[in-house]
């Protein structure tokens, strides 16, 4: 998902898969606003770095719940 808005959800984006592979590692330009948890990484079947560059995280209770210790790049993300 790129350039999408995830707003006022329990969980905005939830990865929980053991048998599928990630077709893309770029989740750039998204807006996560007003969610209980913006991004939940429970199980991700690859060790590829997930790129959340240029994403905006605003007013979420939890911005990133990385339960599986997935490599992520938040270097260009904005938090507020």
> What value, to the nearest 5°, has the Cα angle with vertex 34 and ends 76 and 43?
65
Fill in the DSSP letter of residue 3. Answer: S
pTM equals 0.94
For 27-75, what is each residue's pLDDT tens digit?
999 999 999 999 999 999 888 999 999 999 999 999 999 999 999 999 9
For 34-43, what is each residue's pLDDT tens digit?
999 999 999 9
Half-sphere exposure of 15 (CA within 13 A, CB side): 26
């Amino acid at each position: 998902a790129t350039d999408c808005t995830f707003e006022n959800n329990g969980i905005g984006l939830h990865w929980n898969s053991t048998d599928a592979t990630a077709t893309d590692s770029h989740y750039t330009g998204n807006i996560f606003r007003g969610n209980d948890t913006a991004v939940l990484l429970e199980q991700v079947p690859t060790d590829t770095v997930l790129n959340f560059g240029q994403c905006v995280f605003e007013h979420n209770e939890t911005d990133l719940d990385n339960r599986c210790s997935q490599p992520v790049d938040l270097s260009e993300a904005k938090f507020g």
